């Protein structure tokens, strides 16, 4: 009898259950099992979370954490996505100078730099503060949302430039959230941001008082800024990538008002670094554009920069002619969240300009472990974002495409469990022809989740508090066909991804419709508080109504027969009870059934 087994065995069984609801149903079997499962502040749910979601950090509300994480995983399986714009209201608090003069006439809209975080500040999963911020041309826009017992939402818009041009655009932004020395300063929001003209500063904003103060300035020697990057450890390093290819590195845990770089990385000869990314506070990856050392990994020390490893295009499983004379890297995403995935920065994703995303593991002598590709789309990848420990998102450079990939698609390699002794190879050596003879492991045809790509083709609303008339090209209200520049999630357990498009930010919430409307809907309303109203007569709470997405399921790379068909969502108000009840299709009920007689895009033409 199950109810007669020792508690330790019940705990082991519980770690294999697929969902939090399965655990709840088990606890309802009898009084003894209920007592075991609810004992010690739901210790069994803690074991469940750590077993099923080993790389996801959560606060110790284990039962709610189990529910939230399984809900997000189920939503990803069912392609359950809610899309809407983050829209500041006209009543947003204005901080700084807003009587400005525009000195140029830009022909394109702004590219938002986005960051977000959330912290739990109460006794329940529902009690948390989420902060979203992005750069909107010369403006800094911020939303502070408190959920739970003290639910409220505040918006603010900051600017301190009187005579503006495109050189004043904010091109990088990093919120300084929990885990740093400002985490106890609950009345202030601290951030580091940079403008194209080369100004990088640490800014403190008081949302309640409507004031601001510059805390620190990072010395850039007048160089024009391309972007910055901030490592995610307890002693974060700031890297500034300048327009001439130089990269400066700064310590941020200092009280100095002017911070000088502690080291520089300068391109060799006439080469110019076209992309860089901090893998950790001690590792930086640079896309050089060269064929021999396309991806250069360097170690960062207080004494300077030292070479660690180079990866070239020659041995990769691609036609070298597709790179022509250069091999550019357009995006990199570290996978640092798992305790056994090696030292921070050793495992990362990189988007190459042959339209492939490759997973690289610096513990391995191989040049890469797995490649991911959407061969129905030939746009470069502009952004990558790890989402949980199972999947990642890729933002395309055109067609407004966000692609969802499954990290589990390879049956022969698991970056979470890979343990490669350092004695097998020398990680500090440059890639050689001997290494090139090692065959990379490619994605298996059999995978647990079919890839999916979706279009964010809706134009941003014109309600943003713009200071001048929008550029001519952005005033055209046809479908959006531009890039996905940036992506950010508030926390590893959040169901939300914020994506930056031209002149706007799209909020993507991964939540199943039948969860939001089913027997547990009160839990979702209280604990996730996505601000989505399913009913036809109630207005949305977070300023923007969900719009309908479109997308297609990607076939395997070697499948030249399957026809890709466009799927479209229906609005929440168009759903009927029988639609929500039908879950056997494997798709969220908002996705319309396919018309089998019509094809959208053929693979063989």
Q: What is the pLDDT of residues 450-497, one digit of tens each?
A: 789 999 999 988 755 554 445 544 455 689 999 999 999 999 999 999
pTM: 0.87
Tell me, yes or no, whether 54 lies in a domain: yes
Q: How far apart are CA 548 and CA 566, in angstroms?
A: 13
Report the pLDDT value the prediction gives residue 272, as an integer from 0 to 100. 64
The answer to whether 100 touches 163, Cβ cutoff 8 Å, is: yes
More confident site: 58 or 598: 58
Task: Supply the range of the domain harboring residue 6.
Answer: 1-79
More confident site: 453 or 354: 453
Q: How far apart are CA 64 and CA 348, in angstroms?
A: 30
Tell me, yes or no, whether 237 lies in a domain: no
Q: Is the pLDDT of residue 219 over 80?
A: yes
10 Å Cβ neighbour count for 431? 20
State how far Cα 248 lies from the chain centre.
24
**Tens digit of each residue's pLDDT (9 = 90 or more) over 83-139:** 999 999 888 999 998 877 777 777 788 999 999 999 999 999 999 999 999 999 999
Mean local confidence (pLDDT), 351-377: 89
Report the pLDDT value the prediction gives residue 294, as an integer from 0 to 100. 85
3-class DSSP assignment, residue 296: strand
3-class DSSP assignment, residue 102: strand
Report the pLDDT value the prediction gives residue 396, as an integer from 0 to 100. 96
Tell me, yes or no, whether 481 lies in a domain: no
The answer to whether 49 touches 70, Cβ cutoff 8 Å, is: no
Give residue 440's pLDDT band: very low, low, confident or very high (50, 70, 90): very low
Tell me, yes or no, whether 273 lies in a domain: no
Tell me, yes or no, whether 542 lies in a domain: no
CB neighbour burial string for 337-348, b if at least 16 within 10 angstroms, e if fewer = beeebbebbbbb
Task: Please count the structural domains in the chain.
Answer: 1
Tell me, yes or no, whether 246 lies in a domain: no
State how far Cα 384 lies from the chain centre.
7
Report the pLDDT value the prediction gives residue 37, as an integer from 0 to 100. 67
Mean local confidence (pLDDT), 370-391: 89
Walk across the sheet containing 128-136 and list its strands. 93-96, 152-159, 139-147, 128-136, 114-120
Report the pLDDT value the prediction gives residue 539, as an integer from 0 to 100. 46
**Tens digit of each residue's pLDDT (9 = 90 or more) over 172-205:** 999 997 555 665 667 899 999 999 999 999 999 9
Tell me, yes or no, whether 43 lies in a domain: yes
**Tens digit of each residue's pLDDT (9 = 90 or more) over 131-148:** 999 999 999 999 999 999
CA-based angle 145:130:161, to the nearest 5? Answer: 80
**Tens digit of each residue's pLDDT (9 = 90 or more) over 6-40:** 777 777 777 677 666 677 677 677 767 767 666 65
Tell me, yes or no, whether 73 lies in a domain: yes
DSSP string over 481-510? -----EEE-SSTT-SEEEEEETTEEEEEEE
């Amino acid at each position: 009898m199950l109810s007669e087994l020792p508690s330790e065995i019940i705990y082991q069984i519980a770690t294999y259950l697929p969902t939090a609801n399965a655990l709840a149903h088990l606890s309802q079997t009898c009084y003894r099992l209920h007592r075991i499962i609810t004992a010690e502040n739901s210790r069994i749910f803690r074991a469940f979370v750590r077993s099923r979601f080993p790389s996801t950090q959560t606060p110790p509300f284990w039962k709610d954490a189990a529910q939230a994480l399984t809900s997000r995983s189920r939503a990803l399986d069912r392609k359950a996505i809610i899309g809407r714009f983050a829209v500041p209201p006209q009543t947003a608090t204005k901080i700084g100078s807003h009587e400005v003069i525009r000195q140029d006439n830009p022909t394109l809209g702004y590219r938002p730099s986005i960051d977000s975080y959330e912290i739990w500040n109460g006794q329940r999963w529902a009690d948390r503060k989420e902060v979203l911020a992005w750069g909107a041309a010369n403006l800094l826009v911020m939303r502070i949302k408190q959920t739970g017992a003290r639910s409220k939402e505040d918006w603010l818009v900051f600017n301190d430039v009187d005579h503006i041009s495109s050189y004043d655009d904010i091109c990088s932004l990093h919120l300084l959230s929990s885990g740093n020395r400002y985490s106890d300063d609950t009345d202030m929001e601290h951030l580091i941001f940079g403008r194209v003209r080369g100004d990088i500063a640490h800014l403190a904003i008081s949302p309640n008082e409507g004031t601001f103060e510059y805390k620190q300035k990072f010395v850039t020697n007048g160089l024009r800024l391309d972007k910055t990057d901030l490592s995610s450890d307890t002693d974060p390093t700031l890297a500034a990538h300048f327009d001439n290819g130089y990269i400066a590195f700064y310590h941020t845990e200092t009280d100095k008002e002017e911070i000088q770089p502690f080291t520089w990385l300068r391109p060799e000869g006439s080469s110019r670094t076209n992309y860089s990314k901090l893998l950790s506070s001690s590792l930086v990856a640079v896309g050089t554009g060269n064929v021999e050392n396309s991806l250069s990994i360097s170690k960062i020390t207080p004494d300077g920069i030292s070479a660690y490893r180079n990866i070239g295009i020659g041995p990769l499983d691609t036609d070298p002619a597709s790179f022509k004379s250069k091999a550019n890297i357009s995006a990199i995403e570290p996978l640092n969240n798992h305790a056994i995935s090696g030292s921070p920065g050793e495992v990362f994703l990189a988007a190459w300009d042959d339209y492939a995303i490759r997973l690289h593991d610096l513990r391995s002598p191989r040049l890469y472990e797995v490649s991911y590709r959407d061969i129905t789309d030939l746009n470069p990848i502009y952004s990558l974002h790890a989402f949980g420990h199972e999947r990642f998102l890729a933002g395309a450079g055109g067609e407004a495409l966000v692609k969802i990939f499954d990290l589990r698609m390879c049956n022969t390699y698991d970056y979470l469990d890979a343990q490669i002794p350092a004695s097998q190879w020398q990680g500090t050596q440059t890639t050689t022809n001997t290494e090139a003879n090692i065959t990379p492991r490619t994605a298996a045809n059999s995978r647990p989740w079919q890839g999916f790509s979706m279009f964010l083709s809706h134009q941003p609303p014109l309600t943003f508090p713009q200071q001048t008339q929008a550029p001519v090209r952005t005033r055209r209200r046809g479908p959006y066909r531009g890039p996905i520049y940036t992506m950010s999630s508030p926390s590893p357990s959040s169901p939300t991804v914020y994506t930056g498009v031209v002149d706007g930010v799209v909020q993507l919430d991964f939540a199943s419709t039948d969860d939001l409307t089913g027997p547990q809907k009160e839990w979702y309303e209280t604990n996730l508080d996505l601000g989505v109203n399913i009913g036809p007569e109630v207005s949305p709470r977070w300023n923007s109504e969900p719009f309908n997405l479109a997308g297609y399921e990607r076939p395997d790379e070697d499948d030249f027969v399957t026809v890709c068909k466009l799927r479209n969502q229906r609005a929440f108000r168009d759903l009927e009870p029988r639609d929500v009840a039908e879950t056997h299709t494997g798709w969220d009920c908002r996705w319309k059934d396919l018309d089998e007689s019509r094809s959208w895009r053929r693979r063989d033409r």
